[in-house]
Amino acid sequence: MKVYAIFSIANNYDQPENNLEILFQNKPNFENLKTFFFDQLSIDKIRDSDIMFLVDLMRGKSVRLDGTEYRIEEATVMAN
């Protein structure tokens, strides 16, 4: 089964490269990402730079938010 994972890398010297944040069954859309990163803030309460963060993340870019780098990757999960 294909899933989508959000991984993060903090600025810690011992941070693993695959720090799993969350898994999605389907590719996350803008609303999924907004809810995950900015909880229940309405769109008019989010900074323009944060909106661009979400858009770039959706485009597959590795992007920074508050000193932590995030990326989305498609992964395969094997079920027993």
Task: Give the count of domains, the chain.
Answer: 1
What's the pLDDT tens digit per position in 6-52? 999 887 666 677 789 999 999 999 999 999 999 877 888 889 999 99
Strand intervals (E) in the chain: 2-9, 19-24, 63-65, 68-76
Domain that holds residue 23: 2-76
CA–CA separation, 44 and 42 (whole Å) = 5
Contact 60, 36 (CB under 8 A): no
The pLDDT of residue 72 is above 80: yes
What's the pLDDT score for residue 12? 65
